[in-house]
Structure 1
Amino acid sequence: MSRLVRNRATTVCAAVLALVLSACGAASTSSGGAGAGSGGAAVKLANAKILDDPRSYEGPTHAGLAGASIDPIATNPVQHLPVTVTDSQGTEVTVKDTSRILALDLYGTLSQTVFDLGLGDDVVGRDLSTQFKEARKLPLVTGEHSHELIAERITELNPSVIITDTSLGPWDVILQMRDAGIPVVVVSSHRGIDNIGSLTEQVADALGVTQAGKRLAKRSERQVAATEKEIKAVAPQTVQKKLRMVFLYVRGQAGVYYMFGEGSGADSLIDGVGGYDVAKEINWKGMKPVTDEGIVAAQPDLILMMTKGLDSVGGVDGLLKRLPAIADTPAGQKRRIVDMSDAAILGFGPRTPEVLNSLAVSIYAPESAIADAPGDPFVSTTADSGTGS
């Protein structure tokens, strides 16, 4: 696939996801899954009690995250300004000042990256998906329960630079910021394991901390590779034995039921946890409203979901009631639903190694899974809803 076609496909997927997420009201905050643990330190897959047959397990599992949060690669990264970069849209942008940074995207990935580069003290605002504790007190520049950028909130913060992608809108707001003379650097909207490093470097280059970016990219890639190696050691290796997985995005209040396929980011996540991405088999591309035919054709052994999505339909019982076709699949018959915090599960970035580990534990060693630990930066509250709002 050419870069142009790939970029267009990514932009379309991001736009669909933004539309879906923005259409939804606030969700409940209780855990939709039934994690076996009661919180505490994260369980490493290498130390977990692995099932002899992951298909044999019955019941839902919540993939919790421990309280660890930002881990800056440097406290005072060496910075070289001004810097001129050509962004992902081919626009040449000169950044002279990074004292007031806005890093905005649908997933909260960009703000996490800026903090892990060691520039968190210079961030002046946040998007709705930025949920980690170090950033929670920053003012929102999106709606309290939507992902729509609000121009007045941005200009009030007087940002010296904006790092963003095409996943948030309306795009006219971004153009308005450029017209106002604010340097706006548009990075890749693609989210997946394959570009965690390159996306990190794009952000770092735009902020004049190239060396810190390279170090953070290498650290993230090294940790992801180590986690994937651990997963490979316990996950079935043949196609016939791999767990057939799909990713469902649902919001019961808004009547939204989507299955995420190729190019959505969910495919990269499923590959990362050692599953078989059924979307490829049934030619399910991007993000589309789920159908009974699609679910039945997929015949998943396990379904991945966002926590608030599962909550919004009343847990597994409610999901089976609203999408009865799931009952005709192995996942429905064994109630094998694994959910994770909305603001973490598809936010590919510095915390991806922990996300993969937690999901893998919940899939292959569910009795060792933990609930969200106290202080988990990705646990949302009613007043501060996350990606799934």
Structure 2
Amino acid sequence: MSSGTIRSRAARGPALLLLALGLLLPLAACGPAGNTAAAPASRAPDTVEPLAVAPVPQLPATTASADGRQVTVTSAERIIPLNGSLAELVFSLGLGPKAVARDVSTTFRQAADLPVITQAHEVSAEGVLSLHPTVVLADRSTGPAEAISQIRAAGVPLIVLDDAKRLADVGPRIDTVAAALGVPDAGRQLRERTEQRTDAARAAVPATTGHRPKVAFLYLRGSASVYLLGGPASGAGSLIEAVGGEDAGTAAGLTGDFTPLTSEALVKAAPDAILVMSKGLDSVGGVDGLLKLPGVAQTPAGLDRRIVSIEDGQLLSYGPRTPQVLREISAQLYPAGAR
């Protein structure tokens, strides 16, 4: 699940989010105690790395869509991925030159010049159809449903994937997209590369003495007064566990994906560190502004200003750049000299 997915849910109705306890808090950038957290100087640029040799699609190919349909793709000449995670897969497979549009959560540099076909984080069917796509990729959180139906009614092959919320979802997601676009061999190469890099990133996590650090994932949008604390279905727990941490929301007994941030909920979670998306952190005025939110300053993370900040388009993408995300979380969670 990408940051665009979370924003899309919020845009469709914050009240529904609150009723469903669908709230998420990103972890803020973790730094040595007493210091204001900042983005690490070594942070990689917002780009994707395609396979060395661009594949040639072998089509037609029929794929099982997550909504129960069998979808046949006959051409991959004009691809539209409807969120940043799927766009990352298309470009990583080496098919970026065939992408003809992007959504607002697709932030990496190679896609910057593509037209945006979302409005307020929702898909514009008219915008999609005006670009004459030969295949459209979506996931279950893509909406509104009317737009998806309208695209399909126009005869465009549209494949829905399950949302990715765990490291275990990355490989199957790569396989599905690669098969749908007629490049299964490239998919196997990308999956192998991603798994090797993930294993290396996990192996490089520093060994800790004593307890596992508890990390709270906070989703922040200060301009909309949206402040959410992640639970077991937020999508961040798998990343936190992979770097040797414990998801604070889950440990505190939260259920579902997100819950509104309150002093009581955060103090009960008692995180040692806070994980956030970079734009979310900026939206509340940086670390100083974050410490003014309910309960943050009273937590061990707040007292030590231990904030881990990851780029919005990367944190929850669960794709080929996830190994990079793990390395960045680990570097900020276990800063040199503070282990």
How high is the TM-score relative to the length of structure 2? 0.88
CA 1:120 to 1:278, structure 2 compared with 1: closer, same or farther past 3 Å?
Answer: same
The match for 2:334 is 364
Distance 1:307 1:70 in 2: 18
Q: Give 1:193 deviation, angstroms.
A: 1.2
The match for 1:114 is 90
The match for 1:332 is 302
CA 1:292 to 1:225, structure 2 compared with 1: closer, same or farther past 3 Å?
Answer: same
The match for 1:20 is 10
Q: Give 1:124 deviation, angstroms.
A: 0.3
The match for 2:145 is 171
Distance 1:82 1:173 in 2: 25
Q: Give 1:277 deviation, angstroms.
A: 1.1
The match for 1:73 is 51
Distance 1:225 1:23 in 2: 38
The match for 1:43 is none
Deviations 1:50-93 (A, max 9, x none): xxxx7x57542424632373322253314221111111222101
- Percent identity between matched residues is 40
The match for 2:282 is 311
Equivalent residues of 2:77, 2:98 under 8 A apart: yes
Correspondence for 2:208 among 236, 256, 260: 236
Aligned residue-pair number: 323
Summarize the alignment of residues 339-350 of structure 1 with structure 2, pairs less than 5 Å apart: 339-350=309-320
Give the alignment's Cα RMSD to 1 decimal: 2.5
Summarize the alignment of residues 30-49 of structure 1 with structure 2, pairs less than 5 Å apart: none
Q: For residue 114 of structure 2, what is the amino acid of its counterpart?
A: L
Q: For residue 125 of structure 1, what is the amino acid of its counterpart?
A: A
Deviations 1:264-315 (A, max 9, x none): 1111121122211122222213112122211010011100111111111112
Equivalent residues of 1:14, 1:166 under 8 A apart: no
Deviations 1:203-247 (A, max 9, x none): 00100111111110111011101110111xx1426xx51111100
Correspondence for 2:134 among 149, 160, 163: 160
The match for 1:250 is 220
Q: Give 1:109 deviation, angstroms.
A: 1.1
Distance 1:320 1:182 in 2: 48
Distance 2:46 2:153 in 1: 39
Equivalent residues of 1:246, 1:279 under 8 A apart: yes
Deviations 1:108-165 (A, max 9, x none): 111111111111111000011111111100000012xx31111111111010000110
Equivalent residues of 2:29, 2:310 under 8 A apart: no
Residues 1:85 and 2:63 aligned together:
yes
Deviations 1:301-348 (A, max 9, x none): 10011111111111222222232x122211111111111211111111
Distance 2:67 2:28 in 1: 40
Gaps of 5+ in 2: 15-26
The match for 1:95 is 73
The match for 2:82 is 104
Deviations 1:167-192 (A, max 9, x none): 22111101111111000011121232
How high is the TM-score relative to the length of structure 1? 0.77
CA 1:22 to 1:132, structure 2 compared with 1: closer, same or farther past 3 Å?
Answer: farther
2:95 match: secondary structure: helix
Gaps of 5+ in 1: 1-9, 25-31, 37-53, 369-389
Equivalent residues of 2:78, 2:98 under 8 A apart: yes
Residues 1:135 and 2:134 aligned together:
no
CA 1:123 to 1:312, structure 2 compared with 1: closer, same or farther past 3 Å?
Answer: same
Distance 1:150 1:68 in 2: 25
Equivalent residues of 2:219, 2:230 under 8 A apart: yes
CA 1:322 to 1:287, structure 2 compared with 1: closer, same or farther past 3 Å?
Answer: same
Distance 1:266 1:367 in 2: 26
Equivalent residues of 1:33, 1:62 under 8 A apart: no
The match for 1:224 is 198
Distance 1:167 1:217 in 2: 23
